[in-house]
Structure 1
């Protein structure tokens, strides 16, 4: 079967009717056809700037993604000035949706010196302008693992302010209500305060449309629902009022990966509350998280070789048995969910978390930063007491420090084992 697919990768995907769009109702995603939507996704960032401008590569990859059972991809960096029509059409024809991060290395919110200004917002708006035109654009992330330490929680208001302003821009342009959310590092000390903070408040215009988590705790066949901590993750969201899903998952210790956590995520205990998962990642590179390779690793010292020696384009070859293991899991997992017409949620936002003396340094009741505000440690005591806005007005430009999210010191913290490795390897392009 695979040889047949590979032989006709460039023309295998036939044109179908326009894909249904994705929106939020209560704590769930629904298609415009009224069906509940569960992500079966894969992280897809072949090159740092934009993998969605190479139409030939998109055709090659989309065909094999369809075979493994994916209905979504996550892309961390895009060029809003690029031509994305061919790639987006290819993925649409394959039934694959896009979840795209709005930020870049230079516009991301930094937990060490958080700020939110017009330069960042305008960059986010350009990405929204470009991708709102595609029906298979399913959602936007305003940040990825911005908060990675307890004292990094002071950046939370800036993430929420970014979502507020991105949503306001989307609405002002009368675009489709493409959901806007955040992808968090899985740090137990910050949960559940962070996820509650992002959804709390009486003003829905300030709350995120969805929340997602990069989690790598379910490792190997000896793990299970209890050992992995998934049971506690589930307990924290049984009354959550917005959709939540795993924006990165797929522990690689030990290999081969069996992806047994997928049965839990899409099973009866979790699928009433969780909307699926995105597997990290499509391409094989030095971190060894790949589902496919584009050829044998070459000597990094060779002329024109990538710094880690792993090719980043060409005909994708499934990595065995990981690719087949994921395919076998997804083939058996088809949660039916609920019809939008039969779903009448009565959920309310969680209370905004109050300041704590250890890991949560923001009083949830303070006003969000306005555009142009930068955090000032000198007013931290006022912030934690809830008597001042989270910052002082400035017009400073965004930081250009190239930092990834995640905490490299922990093996199971999202980009600490995933995307950070990719970004470090990609800095030679910048």
Structure 2
């Protein structure tokens, strides 16, 4: 077994290096051949700890993902000490890239009393260390739905500080210029302030490189205008960095037909958006999965109240007809975009840093970002934000939630990262 694993590891570098790298230029992604890159992705988290260390399972899943038409996976949680060479090589061979979250269960930025400290920085850096060398690493997220309520926006400077410091770490280490971004909950009260704030400012080293939105507004037989996607499109006009759906795939209407993909990759949105990641690969109790393994993947709660870790393995079987519906959509949607040689970025400028509002955006303009070791209430960012003299927001009530469902409701998770909930396979009360 060890000998076989050693062979896989030895072969991994050559296989991974065979895939074109992805870079961010202005508001678009390009591969190293000069072609614009659109994300056709799936959320992939088979275990609470790390799905990228079981080469055999990755091989089975990558083969079926290739049939689906996927070119990207999103992984929410990894163990930086694990050996990922086998899985990364397997996905590279299938033409599949990775966007990985840098935070862990214990180091995610807390929106109630935000902080950015050495422990968090070092943990994020270790994940970057583990994945920077793979050519099919597309990007890093510094957070997922950190702000899940309208009055948690005071955490935004800490998200931006994390991006600033991890980009600086990347550059200091001489790593490839892998973009660093953020995955946001779709909070109507914070549109478009959050996406604009994270990209604003004259110093690009302090802003994110791309913005992901977790949106579940388009449900069933809807349309570009009825779903609210037309509004999202308006907010993306003139945005200076890539924007894409980092989670999507409403399931309140079954079966899922994924009609929104025709707008995302069609003439409605492909000029502004860089694709979408479908939530999710494996079918859990929340019934968002595209495949199943023929076994119960429900979490097991032990006496302490902590959900016991489970290992999900097996031959993936498509969930009918959802898998085929998505496969058919993607097969007919192949935007070519623009060649990097013809792409003009001179007309793109960062958005203005938004002023505070009575609707829940509490950060006033381009505030100074916290440094490592500062906590909400002590940093200049918190001190200059509306109602933040003690680091406690006094804006609108915490009425906005992140939803997986529809624009008018759905499965609400208040004040908690949807992505982390999915990753941990815990507290999945998608009632």
* Matching of residues 192-341 of structure 1 within 5 Å: 192-221=192-221, 223-297=222-296, 312-341=312-341
Q: In the superposition, relative to structure 1, how do residues 378 and 342 fare at CA in structure 2: closer, same or farther (>3 Å)?
A: closer
Query: Which 10-residue stretch deviates more, 382-391 or 354-363?
Result: 382-391
Distance 1:42 1:170 in 2: 26
Match of 2:356 in 1: 355
Q: In the superposition, relative to structure 1, how do residues 86 and 233 fare at CA in structure 2: closer, same or farther (>3 Å)?
A: same
1:373 equivalenced with 2:344 (yes/no):
no
Tell me the alpha carbon deviations over residues 94-123 of structure 1, each in whole angstroms, 9 at most, x when there is no partner: 000000000011010010110001110011
Q: In the superposition, relative to structure 1, how do residues 175 and 44 fare at CA in structure 2: closer, same or farther (>3 Å)?
A: same
Match of 1:37 in 2: 37
Match of 1:344 in 2: 344
Distance 2:156 2:247 in 1: 20
Distance 1:181 1:299 in 2: 31
SS in structure 2 opposite 1:63? Answer: helix
Match of 1:6 in 2: none
Distance 1:348 1:298 in 2: 46
Count residues in correspondence. Answer: 399
SS in structure 1 opposite 2:204? Answer: coil
Query: Which 10-residue stretch deviates more, 418-427 or 252-261?
Result: 418-427
SS in structure 1 opposite 2:350? Answer: coil
Q: CA deviation at 1:312?
A: 1.8
Query: Which 10-residue stretch deviates more, 311-320 or 412-421?
Result: 412-421
Q: TM-score, length-normalised on structure 2?
A: 0.86
Match of 1:364 in 2: 365
SS in structure 1 opposite 2:206? Answer: coil
Match of 1:395 in 2: none
Q: CA deviation at 1:299?
A: 9.0
Query: Cα RMSD between the aligned structures?
Result: 3.1
Given that residues 362 and 386 in structure 2 are in contact (C-alpha distance below 8 angstroms), is that contact kept between their aligned partners in structure 1? no
SS in structure 1 opposite 2:57? Answer: helix
Tell me the alpha carbon deviations over residues 227-270 of structure 1, each in whole angstroms, 9 at most, x when there is no partner: 11000000111110000000000000111100000000001120
Distance 1:413 1:254 in 2: 16
Distance 1:376 1:138 in 2: 35
Distance 1:421 1:80 in 2: 20
Match of 2:4 in 1: none
Distance 1:88 1:344 in 2: 33
Q: CA deviation at 1:307?
A: 7.3
Given that residues 367 and 389 in structure 1 are in contact (C-alpha distance below 8 angstroms), is that contact kept between their aligned partners in structure 2? no
Given that residues 22 and 31 in structure 1 are in contact (C-alpha distance below 8 angstroms), is that contact kept between their aligned partners in structure 2? yes
Q: In the superposition, relative to structure 1, how do residues 224 and 123 fare at CA in structure 2: closer, same or farther (>3 Å)?
A: same
Distance 1:367 1:252 in 2: 41
Match of 2:59 in 1: 59
Q: In the superposition, relative to structure 1, how do residues 374 and 38 fare at CA in structure 2: closer, same or farther (>3 Å)?
A: same
Distance 2:160 2:16 in 1: 37
Match of 1:159 in 2: 159
* Matching of residues 78-227 of structure 1 within 5 Å: 78-221=78-221, 223-227=222-226
Distance 1:36 1:379 in 2: 39
Given that residues 411 and 417 in structure 1 are in contact (C-alpha distance below 8 angstroms), is that contact kept between their aligned partners in structure 2? no
Distance 1:278 1:313 in 2: 22
Q: CA deviation at 1:364?
A: 2.2
Q: CA deviation at 1:375?
A: 0.4
Match of 1:5 in 2: none
Q: CA deviation at 1:357?
A: 2.6
Tell me the alpha carbon deviations over residues 274-303 of structure 1, each in whole angstroms, 9 at most, x when there is no partner: 000000000011000000000043898899
Q: CA deviation at 1:141?
A: 0.1
Given that residues 215 and 412 in structure 1 are in contact (C-alpha distance below 8 angstroms), is that contact kept between their aligned partners in structure 2? no
Q: TM-score, length-normalised on structure 1?
A: 0.86
* Matching of residues 1-12 of structure 1 within 5 Å: none
Q: In the superposition, relative to structure 1, how do residues 63 and 358 fare at CA in structure 2: closer, same or farther (>3 Å)?
A: same
| Unpaired stretches in structure 2, ≥5 consecutive residues | 1-13, 393-400
Distance 1:99 1:380 in 2: 29
SS in structure 2 opposite 1:41? Answer: strand
Distance 1:365 1:86 in 2: 43
Q: In the superposition, relative to structure 1, how do residues 114 and 332 fare at CA in structure 2: closer, same or farther (>3 Å)?
A: same
Given that residues 287 and 421 in structure 1 are in contact (C-alpha distance below 8 angstroms), is that contact kept between their aligned partners in structure 2? no
Given that residues 147 and 185 in structure 1 are in contact (C-alpha distance below 8 angstroms), is that contact kept between their aligned partners in structure 2? yes
Q: In the superposition, relative to structure 1, how do residues 38 and 381 fare at CA in structure 2: closer, same or farther (>3 Å)?
A: closer
Q: In the superposition, relative to structure 1, how do residues 214 and 414 fare at CA in structure 2: closer, same or farther (>3 Å)?
A: farther
Match of 1:71 in 2: 71
Distance 2:363 2:425 in 1: 34
Match of 2:11 in 1: none
Match of 1:399 in 2: none
Given that residues 294 and 311 in structure 1 are in contact (C-alpha distance below 8 angstroms), is that contact kept between their aligned partners in structure 2? no
Match of 1:397 in 2: none
Match of 2:6 in 1: none
Given that residues 111 and 146 in structure 1 are in contact (C-alpha distance below 8 angstroms), is that contact kept between their aligned partners in structure 2? yes
